[in-house]
Amino acid sequence: MLARCLPALLPPLAQEEALEVRQVLSVCGQHEAAATAAVRRPFRAPHHTITVPALVGGGRPVVPGEITRAQHGVLFLDELPEFPRRLLDLLRQPLEEGVIRLARANRSLAFPARFQLVAAMNSCPCGNLGLKRKPCKCTPGDVQRYRSKISGPILDRIDLRIEVGTPPADKVGVAAAPPHVSRLAQESRQLRRRIAAARGRQVDRYAGFEGVHCNAQATAELRRTLIGARREAIDFLRRAMTHWNLSVRAFDRALAVARTIADLEGTSDVDVQHVAEALQYRLLASSGEMGG
């Protein structure tokens, strides 16, 4: 449900982004959707039995896959460990470059693939690890095998990892009363405004750099120049990098997340507390210690 809510919380598509989404829809034969006045951020949730061409594009004639259909929107992979590892590894390049290159007999093709990846998984094969009410029946070996289905390089490209508990029994399956609904709607509006303001700051920051609208789209070099991180924040991150043996990518991505946290707060400088929060999201689930 959280993943499905995400596209609506993101700011409306910029003109240039909307044009790209329309192009993808029309290449996929969805001419009616491509021509609607208000084109929305896509939400795609392929099943783990999906084929390689259906995920990344291919076939004859070549058609874009789910990652291109998710352009400027959300690609949601539920039950992440159920996806074959070779399939997940194909996501590495597009996650890095925002584009998928397909090799054909005598030429190479490129489709846009700039999406936000959201994935969900259980804490263990039975799903009860860490729950108070139900016992987990898995052996440590089962848990280890389950988690190792997601390769290190893919995990390294997931910037925010959050443990989601089971809601209390009295909150499950109960239709929200009207006052509750209106409060939720109000909270969503506030959240949307905050996100829009943060995105606005990012658009201003990267004005003049073509195709860059937010922290995630900037190159690591560009971010390092424009991010406005305090010296103490960088020192703190360097120490963390040594302590947890983080990759250079992890360093750069943590800095980007810290910048976004500061943007959501409306703060001009990235400080130690922003970096600390960003690291907290990254370190959960690394080295197999996924809460629980």
Using alpha carbons, list the distances in angstroms from residue 106 to 102, 103, 109, 264.
11, 8, 10, 47
Cβ neighbourhood burial of 223 (10 Å; 0-12, 13-18, 19+): buried
Compute the least distance from the CB of residue 78 to Zn ion, in Å: 18
Dihedral sign, Cα of residue 184, residue 189, residue 194, residue 195:
positive
From first CA to last CA, the distance across the chain in angstroms is: 22
Site residues, Zn ion (CB under 5 A):
124, 126, 128-129, 136, 138
Nearer to Zn ion, 24 or 138 (CB): 138
Compute the least distance from the CB of residue 122 to Zn ion, in Å: 8
SS3 for 194?
helix
Nearer to Zn ion, 269 or 289 (CB): 289
Which 8-state DSSP code applies to residue 39?
Answer: P
Compute the least distance from the CB of residue 90 to Zn ion, in Å: 29
Q: Find residue 77's DSSP bridge partners.
A: 119
The residue written with tokens 């690591």 in the block is: 220
Locate 197 and state its tokens. Answer: 């303001």
275: how many CB neighbours lie within 10 A of its CB? 26
Compute the least distance from the CB of residue 286 to Zn ion, in Å: 20
Nearer to Zn ion, 129 or 262 (CB): 129
Determine the Cα–Cα distance for residues 208 and 166; give it in Å rounded to an integer. 45
Determine the Cα–Cα distance for residues 118 and 78; give it in Å rounded to an integer. 8
Nearer to Zn ion, 138 or 218 (CB): 138
Compute the least distance from the CB of residue 287 to Zn ion, in Å: 19
Compute the least distance from the CB of residue 125 to Zn ion, in Å: 6
Nearer to Zn ion, 12 or 127 (CB): 127
For Cα atoms 167, 192, 42, give the angle at the middle one, nearest 5 degrees: 85
Compute the least distance from the CB of residue 290 to Zn ion, in Å: 12
Contacts of 58 (CB under 8 A, 6+ apart): 52, 65, 102
Nearer to Zn ion, 143 or 246 (CB): 143
The residue written with tokens 């400080």 in the block is: 271
Nearer to Zn ion, 124 or 279 (CB): 124
